[in-house]
Amino acid sequence: MGISSLVLFVGQIREQSFKANEGRIFLR
């Protein structure tokens, strides 16, 4: 487990949360 893998992991979580927020705004 290196720094690059950690950055990728954080990026995936951030992308998922961003998509979830977009979906919420779209539903409203």
16: which DSSP letter? H
Whether residue 4 has pLDDT greater than 80: yes
**Tens of pLDDT along 7-26?**
999 999 999 998 888 877 77
What is the band of 28 on the pLDDT scale with cuts at 50, 70, 90?
Answer: low
Residue 17 carries which side chain, given as an amino acid letter? S
d(CA 5, CA 16): 17
Query: Who has greater pLDDT, 1 or 15?
Result: 15
Range of the domain at 27: 1-28
The whole-number pLDDT of residue 1 equals 63
How many domains is the chain partitioned into structurally?
Answer: 1
